[in-house]
């Protein structure tokens, strides 16, 4: 921006400087408030993340060593549990004949 060397331009520049000096403290205070809020939110986020990690670690410990998922399905097994409520091994025995509950 080129600076004009006139009285009117000098007056405009002085007015802008006064306005800037008048509002600068307010802007600095607002900046400090925003930084404070950001620090609080960051601390809360870290706390929630630690709680999440602890919960996941607790679940890992709780389910370590268990080989079946709810419903009697083994991990990685593509077959879903039978819809009739019969256990997995019994399901294949009784339903080959086409009659539920009929033994082979």
Whole-model pTM: value is: 0.45
Select the highest-mean-pLDDT range: 24-33, 49-58, 63-72, 82-91.
Answer: 24-33
Percent of the chain with pLDDT over 90: 46
In this prediction, residues 70-94 reach a mean pLDDT of 57
Q: What is the mean pLDDT of the chain?
A: 78
How far CA 88 is from CA of 68, 69, 79, 94, 99, in Å, comes to 12, 13, 10, 10, 16
Position 61 scores a pLDDT of 73
Residue by residue, what is the 3-state secondary structure of 43-88? HHHHHHHHHHHHHHHHHHHHHCCCCCCCCCCCCCCCCCCCCCCCCH
């Amino acid at each position: 921006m080129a600076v004009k060397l006139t009285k009117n331009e000098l007056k405009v520049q002085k007015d802008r400087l006064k306005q800037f000096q008048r509002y600068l403290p307010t802007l600095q205070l607002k900046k400090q408030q925003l930084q404070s809020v950001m620090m609080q939110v960051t601390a809360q986020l870290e706390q929630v993340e630690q709680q999440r990690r602890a919960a996941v670690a607790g679940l890992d410990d709780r389910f370590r060593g268990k080989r079946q998922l709810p419903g009697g399905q083994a991990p990685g097994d593509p077959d879903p549990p039978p819809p009739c409520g019969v256990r997995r091994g019994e399901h294949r025995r009784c339903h080959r004949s086409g009659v539920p509950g009929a033994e082979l």
